[in-house]
Structure 1
Amino acid sequence: MPTAPALTLRPATTADAPLLAAMHAASWQSTYCDLLPAAFLEQEVDTERAAYWRARMVAPGEDRRLVLIAELGDQPESRTPVGFVCAERQPGSPWGALLDNLHALPGHQGIGVGKRLMQAAQAWARAQGESRLYLYVLEGNESAIAFYERQGWQYSGAEPDHMGGIDITALRYVYRLDTA
C-alpha cells in the first residue's frame, strides 16, 4: 500500500521571496475570487505580492518573524511547495503576535497543511513568550473563518481595510496560547 508523501516545514530565506509571492497570489486568486475585483486578481496581484515579499524578506526584524514553507515529498530535491505561514511579534499589541499569513495552496487544502503550519506558528509564539496570537480574515471568507473557529480561534472585532482597490472588512480572531 503506497504511503502519502511526507509534509515538511522549512524556514524561508530571502531567495524564497518569489516562491512566497507566487503561492500568496495563487491563494488569493482562488480564495478571493468572489471577494476582490477580478481585474486586481488577474492583472495586479502577482506584481503586488512580488514587491511585498521582496521587501518583507529583507526587512529588518527577522528575529521577530517566522516564515515557514510547507513542502510535500520524501526527498529534498523533489519536494513540492504547498503552503506557507508568516507570524510576527508585534511589540505593544494588545492581541499578541500576528499570524499574518497562513496559506495552503488550492488542491492541497483539507490534508492538514494549514493545521500543521498553524501549530508551528503557535509553538514559535509560545517560545517567544507570547500568550496570544491574532489574525485577520476577510469578511465573507467563510471557509477560512470555519477553519479558524474549528481550531479554537475566537472572533474579537472587525476593522475597515482596503485591498485590491476596494474597501473591505477584516475580521480579527484571537487564539489564547496559554490555554491550548
Structure 2
Amino acid sequence: MHAQSWAATYRGILPDTFLDNEAPAERTAHWIKRMEEIDAGEGIAWIAELDGAPVGFVCLVDPDANGSVLVDNLHALPGFKGAGAGTAMLAAAQAWARERGARRLHLSVLEGNQAAIGFYESRGWRFAAREDDRMGGIGVVSLVYVFALE
C-alpha cells in the first residue's frame, strides 16, 4: 500500500526508476523494521478501511523527549484521496497522542508534494523547518510540519 501511494504521489518528484523498481523493496524493509519497533511498544499503525477494504494507513511513534509524536507515515490509496480517510486518521492520531501526554505531533512532507502540504495546512498544521534529505538516490527537501495539541 505504501509503495502504491508513493508511485502515484511522488511521480515527478522522485525518479520513476526508483518508484517503479526500488521503492517496493525499500518500503518493505522500512515496514519490517517499523513493525518490530511497534511490537516492542514504540508506537502504533492503523489501516483505514472503507466497506471492509483497506484505503489508507497511518503510523505513529511514541512521544519523544520534547513530547512530540512523529506521524511516521499517513497515506490514502490514490483512488481514495478525498474520501475522508486522511482526516479520520489524523483525528485518531491526535487522540492517541493526547492519551500519551504528548504536546504536539510532527511529520515531514516532501517539498513538491503540494497536495499533502495543502491537506495538512488546511487542518491547522504549521510549517516548522526545512531539511535536506535523500530519497530515491537524489537530494530532496523535506518540510517539517507540527500540530500543537495544547
Could you state the TM-score of these two structures normalised by the residue count of structure 2?
Answer: 0.95
Map 1:26-175 to 2 at 5 A. Answer: 26-59=4-37, 62-73=40-51, 79-93=52-66, 96-175=68-147
Aligned residues: 150
Alignment of 1:1-40 (within 5 A): 23-40=1-18
Indicate the larger mover: 47-56 or 37-46.
47-56
Unmatched runs of 5 consecutive residues or more in structure 1: 1-22, 74-78
Cα distance in 2 for partners of 1:162, 1:100 equals 16
Of residues 34-43 and 58-67 in structure 1, the stretch that sits farther from structure 2 once superposed is 58-67
Secondary structure, aligned partner of 1:107: helix
Please state how far the C-alpha of 1:91 moved relative to its aligned partner.
Answer: 2.4
2: CA distance, partners of 1:61 / 1:129: 21
Deviations 1:137-170 (A, max 9, x none): 0001001000000000000110111101011000
Offset from partner CA, 1:24-64 (integer Å, 9 cap, x none) = 10010000001000100011111111111112112367423
Question: Can you list the C-alpha shifts for 1:83-105, whole angstroms capped at 9, x where unaligned?
Answer: 00001124224x71111100000
1:108-127 deviations in Å (ceiling 9; x for gaps): 01010000011111100000
Rg larger in 1 or in 2?
A: 1
The aligned amino acid for 1:85 is V
Q: Deviations over 1:161-180 (max 9, x none)?
A: 110101100000010111xx
1:140 partner SS? coil
Alpha carbons of structure 1 residues 141 and 112: separation in structure 2 relative to 1, 3 Å: same
Match of 1:56, SS? helix
1:60 to 1:87, Cα distance in 2 relative to 1, 3 A: closer
8 Å contact from structure 2 (residues 105, 149) kept in 1: yes
Match of 1:54, SS state, is: helix
Asked whether the 8 Å contact 1:87–1:121 carries over to 2, the reply is yes
Unmatched 5+ stretches in structure 2: none
**1 CA distance for matches of 2:129 and 2:37?**
29
